[in-house]
Structure formats: structure tokens, C-alpha cells
Structure 1
Amino acid sequence: MDREDGWWVIKRHSDVSKYLSDDRLTPLVDFPTAPSGTYKSSPALVSALHQWCWMRQCSLDSISLNRLRPHFSHRHLRNIETRIQTSAQRHAENLHCSGGGDVVLDYVTPLVGSVMADFSRLPSRDSSLITECSVRRWAMFDARGSKLETATRVKFHELEEKLIESIDFTTDRREIVNGSIPLLPPNETRNFRIAQFTAAFTAYELARAILSTTLSLLLHNPHQLARVRGNPEITNSLIKEVLRLHGPEYVVPMKARIPFEIHGNSIEVGDCVALAAGSANCDSSIFMRPAVFSPDRTVQTHIGLSSPYARLTAPLVILIVHTAVCTLLRSSSTLSLASTPVSSNERPPGHRILTLPVRYFN
């Protein structure tokens, strides 16, 4: 356990797993995943978010959507598997008709954007808002320290506000009465909409990052690509391996609720604790040859998708990725890189892949 820049950093797999579900620590829920990072939560909203978002260690052994049912209304989940499959098939066919293209720009981005727009019940006129918001967010990130930073930030916030007002997670009265959805006082309505926006936007970013990384690893490892195509039943373990090696959540920020000790170190109330999932996922005492990409790895006790919002939407994110990978591989007998992909080392791990140009044949 280290002390870095005022944070207690926990890196060992057993410790990270333990403290993810330790009641003495509470997640930092002041919208750390909100793109602008400007929203602050009130006590009432913190309470609501704990009810709505804080799910204990999320098992990804299956892609069952049962975990989503207490948190989203029936109309969001109705036939969701079929809706995702239909969208994936449509975008795979579009890529196939051109005989090739860019997997990230022509398949991953439009597919995940359309699924999340459908899930969030965005009006047709605003169906591209989530994708546009993401593009603006990363433009703002890439423009840090330049003359374009202010302009890109203004454009992003304009889209962000429009998306917050357009997203629709309205539930029926029965769900509210049964306590599935937390009731908030009127003055918290906007904050709750921001929470909804954050959950949907986080799901989009996670699905896009995990799917891009999965396809990149397969395309850079043709023998593994052939194995997965020939044995689609290992797709679940493939996704877990991607989350272990290149998960988009490398650190889960927490704060101490009460004083306690970790390995002889005194943790005081309010101390910030970083659970280093990225380090834990490469713990050699747990994983044999941790740096090797192995889609059918038998030991899969990885720590991925561990923040509150990620846990809330994890089943949906995994379902999108699983369906998209299977659909793309099933629709082509030959899929290979056409030229050198473009990536950005300036972006956070898991979000660095910008393009994946491919040749795509039957």
C-alpha cells in the first residue's frame, strides 16, 4: 500500500477485491464520471445514488440483465437483446457492403451510439446526441492546454446540457411506489437527471472502449481471432480477459467513512483511497503470465467495471460487446487489418484506439 499525492493507493488483488465491498469506504459519487466534472451532489442525491447505483461486487459470469430490472423501467428493457442484435446486424452489413472500412468509425461508434440512444429513449431528432457528446468530450480532452480548449469546452457543455434535458428514464408509478426508484424532492430533479445522463453516458463510453479494445486485440493476434471465430462459446472469457488486461477503469476512487487501519496504516475519516484495479488485474500471485493475452484463461477473477455507474450498467455494456463481437465475426470469414491503426497515448488506458482499418470479405 502506497501514499501518492495525498491518496492511499491499494494495488494487491486480494486487497482491492476486499475493499471494493467494504462499508468503511464509500465511492466518490460527486459525478466523477460526468464529462465536465462540474456537478456536485447534495446529501439527498448522495442517498439516492447509493440506492440506485451502488451495487456490490458485480459478477460478470453471465450477461443476464436481471440486475438492470430494479433500476430501469420495463420499457427500457423490453426486447433489449433483440434490439441490440438487430442494430449490430445492420451495422455489420453496412461494413460488409463496402468490402472494408474502419471498425471503430464504421461499426463500433454508430452501433453503440444507436443502442444507447434507443435504450435512453432519445427522440429521433436527438438520436445522435450521445455520440456527438462523446466526440466533443474527447475533442475537449485532446485540446487541453491549447488555444482551442475554451472553444471546445463551450461546445461540449452545450451538447451536454441538451442531452441532459433529452434523456428519458421516466418510470411508471408502480415502480416508484415499490421503491425500486428513489424518490427525490423537487429541487433534486435536475441532479437526478444528471445522474441518469451520467449512467447512460458512462455506459456508452465503456461499451465503445471495451468493444474497440476487444476487436483491436483480436485483429493484432490473428491466431486468437481464428480461435474465437471457431469457438464462439469462449467469447465470454474473451471479454473478461480484455477487461483484465485493458479495462477502461484502472482506478476506483473511494473515501473513508470511518477511521480504520489497512496493513498497519491509519486511515482517517475523509481520506481518499484509490483502488488500483489495473495493478490488481496483473497480480502475478493470481494470474499466471499476467501480461499475456489469453482469451480462454481459466482464472478470471478480474476486477473490472467497478465504479458505481459502471456496476449499474455493466450487464448492458457486456451484452452490447458480446453481441457486437459475435455478429461481426459471424458475418465474415476473413477479417484483417488493412493498414496501421491510429491510437493516442495521451488518452486514458482503454480509450486510446481511434481507428481500426480492416479488410472485410465473405
Structure 2
Amino acid sequence: MSLFDKRILLIVGGGIAAYKCLDLVRRLRERGAKVTPVMTRSAAEFVTPLSIGALAGTKVYGELFDRDDEEDVGHIRLARGADLVIVAPASAARMGRMAAGIGDDLAGAVLLATRAPVLLAPAMNPAMWTHPATRRNVETLARDGIRFVGPNRGEMAESGEAGEGRMAEPLEIAAAAEAVLGEARGPLAGRHVLVTSGPTHEPIDPVRYIANRSSGRQGHAIAASLARLGARVTLVSGPVALPDPPGVSTVHVETGREMLGAVEAALPADAAVFVAAVADWRTQDDAAHKIKKTGDAPPALRLVENPDILRTVGTGPRRPALVVGFAAETRDLLENAAAKLARKGADLIVANDVSGEVMGGEANTVHLVSRSGVEAWPTLSKTEVAERLALDIARRLGPSGGA
């Protein structure tokens, strides 16, 4: 959709990535948006209010206790006058204050007072992004309905380190803004849908792990398609080489146990789509140091079962109205899918034969297995599968949310 005549409040946060907001303002305005900038004090250390204001074509706000602005409770006026609030770059400190409900500056007060959707574009050092405190804050904000775009992988401008933490590019943020503002018109508007995607990595030692060949393409495509239909989507992703879908709140995990924790933290949801290929087993005790070859027999690995996320949610007390699972099989496809449907408390199983090049490939051939029968789909691209499945989920939920 276009951003024509949409009122976007852009909160420019502190960080070297603030320079990207100069281009972001331009990208938003060329799509027809009216951009009102709010700059934090630390943001002004990286870009000037004069440059941001010149590109936005309007006043730049910065102080909570500005005498002129606060005569009419300016922070409330700013908060209530926006169709969308974007925070870019969103630092670890800003997300921590948001998660704790702290409004000690103009940006914080606006974020507490707004009724508009909020889109964060995080940017920070990779170690800060993966820190447990940041992960907890991201999960809290996602549960509160905050959307995320990025961060991306790459080299950090300030340190030269490489990893996940670069702010999303302005075009990605503009696309995410379009997706978020398009939610109000879709058939899944007002719905929260949880999606899992990708593989899990179960450590054997610091350099080896148990995994599978899942690329995450199908799960990520489903999350994006659901968002385009208006859903608020939480995507719990294992390790993949894919960008986060625009307009989707993505939580990154490594192991099956971490994925279960993130899934439970994201509930409640109206629907859950379990696409991730979680490793069935993990080692009972992963080694603290690399296991070395000794020339003797290879070491024995004691395996234990990973948690069954689909069954845990499908039979649990916080079960969504609609639970969709995936069955990746190499033989007896429909028989195994029907057994999985009954055993794991799902409403629908999307069954696909992975004996060819499906895992990591671009196409998929699926069958929808439910208690009412089997629906066979032709071979489609994974994007087309995602779009058809998203529409089917919208139909099954219906306007009242019943599956």
C-alpha cells in the first residue's frame, strides 16, 4: 500500500545509525507520508535537528518540558496525532525503557501515550543484541504488540565487528511501515498469529551441532503473507540466512528449548503455525570443549528428546483457536500426517514430501490434512504456498475468531 497522507511520527534515537534517518525521511515522504520528527538528545550528537527538519519540512521536537509545546500537553498531541510511530535507530537502552514503561523524556512519554502501532528498527553491537536482557526486552515488547524490522547482519560502523545488529535499510523500514499500516484493512486485522520457522541447532560441543536442512524460506514466507493480510505476526525463527520479514515481530533462537520458551512467551494468539523443523533430539550433555579425535572409537553421544512444541501448545491450556502443524515426510506421507494430526492436538497438518529438494529449495507440493479430509495442492513456489495458506487460515478463523 501507499503511505499517502499517513501521519508518521519518527523518533530518531541515539546511535551512529541515526544518519540513515536522513534517507528514511525522504523514503517515507516520497511515498506520500507526513513525517513529524522527534529527536532524542543523544540523536542530536549524530545528526542535526536542522538537517532532519529540512528533509521532513516541519518542526523537530526534542524536549519533554518545552514551555511552548507543553502549554497544550504537546507529548499527548504528538502521540495521538500519529497513524504510526517509528523508532529508528532503537537502541538497547531505549528498548529497555520501553519494556519497563519508563517515559522520562519526550520520546518515552510519546511511546507510552500513543494508541498508534509502533515499529522499532533496532541497531546495536551484536553482543548487545544477543544479551539475555535484550532478548527478554524484545520478547516483552513483542507481546505488547510492538513490531520490529531488522536488525540485519553485517559489519558494525563503530567497531568493525560483524554480526546481527545493523539497523535495517531505509527502504526496508518504509516497506515495513506500509505492511503495518496495511493491517487495518486485511481479513486478519486484529488477529495475532504465531509462526515458527527454520531449523534448530542443538550443540554437541562448542563447534558442532545437530540440525537439519531447513532453510526457513517456507516459514518466513508464511509470516510475511499473514502480515500482508493484516495479522499481527510474531515469528520465532531458528538460525537462518534470511532477512526478517517486513512488518513482522521476529524473535531469534538457536535451540529447541529456546524456541519453546519464545513460543510460550508469545502466547496468547488467535492462531499458531508451526513450520520450524525442530531437531527431534539433542545431546544429554554438550561438551564444554571441542571433542578431539583420538584414533580410537568415536565418542558415544547420549541423545534425549527435544520438547514437542506442536503437542505442547496443541494440547495445552493456552491453545490458540487454530493450530497448524507441518509434517515433513519421506514416505507414507498422508498416513503419517493423519497420525500427527490426532496425536498432537492440531486442527490442520500441512504435509509435504521432502525426499527431493524441498528443504532449501524454492518450490513445495503440499497436502492439507484435517479431520474433514485431505486437500491436495499442486506444486507451487513457497511464496504461493504461503499466500494460499494465509488465506485459508483467515477463512478458518472467520470474523469471530472461531476455527
TM-score, length basis structure 2: 0.22
Give 1 or 2: higher helix fraction.
1
Give 1 or 2: higher strand fraction.
2
Q: Higher relative CO (CA 8 A, sep ≥ 6), structure 1 or 2?
A: 1
